[in-house]
Amino acid sequence: MAILVDENTKILVQGITGSFGGRHAQLSLDYGTQLVAGVTPGKGGQKFADKVPIFDTVAEAVEVTGATVSAIFVPPPFAGDAILEAVDAGCDLVVAITEGIPVMDMMRVRAAMEGKKTRLIGPNCPGIVTPGLGKDSHGGCRIGIAPGYIHKRGKVGVVSRSGTLTYEAVWQLTNLGLGQSTCVGIGGDPINGTTHLDVLKMFNDDPETEAIIMIGEIGGSNEEIAAAWAKENCKKPMAAFIAGSSAPPGRRMGHAGAIVSGGKGTAAAKIEALRDAGIEVAKNPSDMGQALVRAMG
C-alpha cells in the first residue's frame, strides 16, 4: 500500500475537454491509470479518447463510475467552484493542478471544506504519482502532470512544493535504484489543501514507505512545522532540500507562495530547523538522491 492512491484508485478529471486537461488525461490513460470519467459542464454524453465517458456534473460521474478522486484542470476563475463541486460529490481526494487561483478564493474554499471528509492536494501542484510495477513504472496511478516514466516502484516517499524540482529528485532516486512508494506535489500557493506535515504523517504510517525525502522552498513555515514534528515522531530516515537560498527578499520567485517577507520564510531558517531535527539536508539540488542514501546509512 502506498499513500493516498494506488493502481486500483478510480479517478475522474474535471476539465477533461480543455487542451491541458485532455493532454494529461491521455498521458494518465497511457500510464495505465484507472481514469474512469471526465466532467465538463455541457458536454455530458460525449466520450474522451473514444472510451472515457464525460458527464455534466461531478455528482453524476461519481454515481455512475464509482470514481473517488478528482483531478482539477479547470481555469483559475472557475477552479474554486470546481473544487467545491468535487467536495459536494463526496470525493475522498481532490487534486487541484490549476495554477493562478486567487488567494481569496482558496481561503473561502478551505473554510467551506472545514468538517468535510475530502482531502485537497494543491492547487498549483504537479499532482500525485504512485508508480506501477510495469516497464518505466507503467500501471501506476498518475494524477496530474508529472512525467510517468521517470518513476520506479519502491520504498521512498517524496513530498514537494514544486514540479520540475520534484522530477529532478525522483529522477535522481530512480537512477540510484531507489524506487518510490508515492510522490506528492503539494503545490506552490500560499493557501493550499495539504501541508508537508500532513504527507509526512501519512508516509510515517505507511508500511511500504521506508524513507522520506521532503523538498521545500522559501516562504511560509510549513517546512519548519514538519521538521519539528519529525524530530519527535518520525520513525524513518529523512532527507530534505530547500530551494531559494539565493533568492532576494521581498520577491515572489515564480510560485505565489515563494517569498521571503519581513525576514520570515528564509531558506536558512528552514535548513536550520531541518538539521536540528536530524534530517539530512542536501548540499545542493544535484545532491538530493545522495542525501537520502546518506540518511538511510
Partner 1 sequence: MNIHEYQAKELFEKFGVPTPKGKVADTAEQAKVAAAEIGSNIVVKAQVHAGGRGKGTFKNGFKGGVHLVQTPDEAADIAGKMIGQVLVTHQTGEEGKLVSKVMVADGVEIEKEYYLAILMDRESKSPVIVASTEGGVNIEDVAEHTPEKIFHQAIHPLLGLQPYEVRKLSAKLGFAGDQAKQFGKLLAALYRLFIECDCSMVEINPLVTTPDGRVLALDAKFDFDDNALYRHPEIAALHDPTEEDPREVEAAKYHLNYIGLDGNIACLVNGAGLAMATMDIIKHCGGEPANFLDVGGGASQEQVTNAFKIILGDPKVKAILVNIFGGIMDCDVIAKGIVAACKEVSLNIPLVVRLEGNNVEAGKRTLAESDVALISADTLADAADKAVKAIAA
Rounded CA-CA distance 90/94 in Å is 10
- C-alpha distances (whole Å) from 204 to each of 52, 179, 215, 227, 245 are 35, 17, 16, 13, 28
Residue with cell 455512475: 64
223 part of the interface to partner 1, by CB under 8 A: no
User: What residues numbered 25-64 form the site for partner 1, per CB under 8 A?
Assistant: 27
18 part of the interface to partner 1, by CB under 8 A: no
C-beta separation of 161 from 188 below 8 A: yes
Helix locations, the chain, DSSP H: 19-31, 58-65, 76-88, 103-113, 164-175, 196-205, 222-233, 267-276, 288-296
| Residue 172 main-chain phi, psi, to 5 deg | -60, -45
197 part of the interface to partner 1, by CB under 8 A: no
- Count of chain residues binding partner 1 (CB under 8 A): 62
Q: Is 196 a catalytic residue?
A: no
| Residue 217 main-chain phi, psi, to 5 deg | -155, 175
Nearest residue (CB) to partner 1, 8 versus 284: 284
Task: Tell me how far, at minimum, the Cβ of 213 lies from partner 1, in Å.
Answer: 14
From the list 1-9, 176-184, 230-238, 239-247, the region that binds partner 1 by CB under 8 A is 239-247
Q: For residue 76, count CB atoms less than 10 angstroms from its CB and return exposed for 0-12, middle for 13-18, buried for 19 or more.
A: middle
Identified binder of partner 1 from the candidate list 102, 134, 177, 249, rule CB under 8 A: 102
Identified binder of partner 1 from the candidate list 61, 83, 145, 226, rule CB under 8 A: 145
User: Which grid cell sits at 205?
Assistant: 504510517
- C-alpha distances (whole Å) from 205 to each of 94, 175, 231, 236, 254 are 21, 26, 15, 10, 33
233 part of the interface to partner 1, by CB under 8 A: no
Task: Tell me how far, at minimum, the Cβ of 254 lies from partner 1, in Å.
Answer: 3
Nearest residue (CB) to partner 1, 48 versus 241: 241
241 part of the interface to partner 1, by CB under 8 A: yes
| Helix, strand, coil share (%) of the chain residues, nearest 5 | 35, 20, 40
| Residue 119 main-chain phi, psi, to 5 deg | -100, 140
Task: Tell me how far, at minimum, the Cβ of 247 lies from partner 1, in Å.
Answer: 6
The SS3 call for residue 196 is helix
115 part of the interface to partner 1, by CB under 8 A: no
Identified binder of partner 1 from the candidate list 10, 43, 68, 108, rule CB under 8 A: 108
C-beta separation of 226 from 161 below 8 A: no
Nearest residue (CB) to partner 1, 60 versus 287: 287
Nearest residue (CB) to partner 1, 102 versus 134: 102
User: What residues numbered 148-187 form the site for partner 1, per CB under 8 A?
Assistant: 150, 160-168, 171
Could you list the residues that contact partner 1 (CB under 8 A)?
20, 24, 27, 76-77, 100-108, 110-112, 145-147, 150, 160-168, 171, 188, 190-191, 215, 217-218, 220-221, 241, 243-248, 251-258, 262-263, 267, 283-287
Residues that are catalytic: 255
